[in-house]
Chains A and B, each alone.
Chain A
Amino acid sequence: MDGKPEQVRIIACGMIAREVLDIIERLKLGHLSLTCLPAMYHHHPEKIAPAIDKAICKARSEGYERIFVGYADCGTGGDLDKVCERHGVERIIGPHCFAFFMGMDAFTKLEDRDMTAFYMTDFLARHFDTFLIEPLGLDRHPELRDMYFGNYEKLVFLAQTEDDDLTEKAKAAAERLGLAFERRFTGYGDLSTALLETAS
């Protein structure tokens, strides 16, 4: 043993790439390396588990023994857990990134109160048009807005960072969707803890 920590491959959702890299840098976790799957898979959750399966096989073929999956369940309905279990790897606990950014305890407590809340993260605020408006066809057919968002009452901006520009973007998004606006600072929540545990 040369005393160096074992290299760990993080296979994460493109939606949290910026946050994972920031945590690695701030906490000096240089033995964690990141590879990402396209954020757009969130519009096709059925693609996530097979893509993770493939990415794990690739990482193993590159010599990584330790792998961590930077996804929550993310609408895979348990399929992602089956892949993780088969390969003996772990993922971030929780149903969605909103949950782990808020922290699972806070998420569980607020679940009922937030039933009509549309959650937005830094990523979604930054890429609102390309990630939400265009794939939902709202740029071409704004009349569909209430079919998608009619049952929501407020947009809750779960802010990972203190960034006034992003807050303004999130506010504008709420207005465009016809929703009230609320900002809650979460930081990186359970994501930091999960990466720290993986790194140890």
Chain B
Amino acid sequence: MRPAIIWNGVQKMSDEDIVLSELPDDELVLQMHDDLYDGLKEEIEEGVQILLGRGWAPYDVLTKALVEGMRIVGEDFRDGILFVPEVLLSANAMKSGMAILRPLLAETGAPKVGKMVIGTVKGDIHDIGKNLVSMMMEGAGFEVIDLGINNPVEKYLEAIEEHQPDILGMSALLTTTMPYMKVVVDTLKEKGIRDDLIVLVGGAPLNEEFGKAVGADAYCRDAAVAVETAKALVSRRHNRGPA
């Protein structure tokens, strides 16, 4: 066991001394933010169960404990304090918390902000960024239909027809596959459905200029930006109302 730490003259417990179930709600939520930051999957599962056991609504557990924790992770990733491996561990921890909450959220009819169809484009099998976006969007209250990797335009079209999403998200890691996003957007235009959708694109070699060039509504640098952009564009769209 690690020794207790003397900090500002006060003896602070080391992490190993902390018993989650003994913490009051506000401290437990802060501890869960720390545990998410450290990618501690089992602790997150335990924290979620404790809060639910104390009568917390699943939606509150999701937003106050998990999403807020991942927001901090996202900021530190953006600022170069955390790196990809740490973010993936955090994402794994959040995923395990989400697995507990997902059926409960469905049962309790948690508010839905909008619907998104997302997938990595044809020829590309890289999905780390796309998976992070899916998870963060789900955490932010979006219904996410994840098409996985290597999606030809037909697959996007089928999903759009079936699910009638507000947002189409496309991801690519390779310089050789990113131009396919334009193929998809051009097909949406040909079918006359481009303006029915918000199109978001992302991936390491992309930039804002590329996003504009392929006809997307926005390029999203990371998962946190994707969530903020999606929220802003969906709310603008809803405010627009019928013509």
Contacts and interface: CB of A to CB of B under 8 A. Distances in A.
Contact of A151 (B89, B125, B206, B207): B125
Interface stretch (A7-15, A58-66, A140-148): A140-148
Nearest to B204: A75
Contact of B85 (A79, A95, A144, A152): A144
A71 to B, nearest CB: 12
B178 interface: yes
A17 interface: no
Interface stretch (A25-33, A108-116, A175-183, A190-198): A108-116
Nearest to A138: B85
A76 interface: yes
A137 interface: yes
A141 B178 CA distance: 30
A15 to B, nearest CB: 17
A5 interface: no
Nearest to B126: A151
B84 A75 contact: no
Contacts of A138: 85
A25 to B, nearest CB: 31
Interface string A160-189: 000000000000000000000000000000
A115 to B, nearest CB: 6
A78 interface: yes
Interface string A119-161: 0000000000000000111101100100110011000000000
A137 B89 CA distance: 10
Contacts of A79: 207
B85 A137 contact: yes
Contacts of A38: none
A198 to B, nearest CB: 22
B85 A136 contact: yes
Interface string A93-106: 00110000000000
Contacts of B174: 95
B107 to A, nearest CB: 29
Contacts of A45: 204-205
Interface in B42-92: 83-86, 88-89, 92
Interface in B76-114: 83-86, 88-89, 92
B176 A151 contact: no
B84 A136 contact: yes
A141 B88 CA distance: 10
Contacts of A135: 83
Contact of A75 (B124, B125, B128, B205): B205
Given A95-B175, A141-B85, A77 B128 contact: no
Q: Which residue, B89, B127, B206, has most C-beta atoms of chain A within 10 A?
A: B89
A116 B175 CA distance: 16
A115 B123 contact: yes
B206 A77 contact: yes
A45 B206 CA distance: 11
B187 interface: no
Given A137-B83, A141-B89, A144-B89, A75 B175 contact: yes
B147 interface: no
B184 to A, nearest CB: 18
A25 B205 CA distance: 34
B229 interface: no
B176 to A, nearest CB: 5
A151 B85 contact: no
B207 A147 contact: no
Interface of B: 83-86, 88-89, 92, 123-128, 149-150, 174-176, 178, 204-207, 210
11 contacts: A73-B175, A75-B205, A76-B205, A77-B175, A77-B178, A115-B123, A116-B125, A137-B84, A141-B88, A147-B88, A151-B126
Given A137-B86, A144-B88, A147-B88, 13 more contacts: A45-B204, A77-B178, A77-B205, A77-B207, A95-B174, A95-B175, A96-B175, A115-B124, A136-B85, A137-B83, A137-B85, A144-B89, A151-B127
7 closest A-B pairs by beta carbon, nearest first, are A137-B85, A77-B205, A151-B125, A95-B175, A75-B205, A73-B175, A95-B176
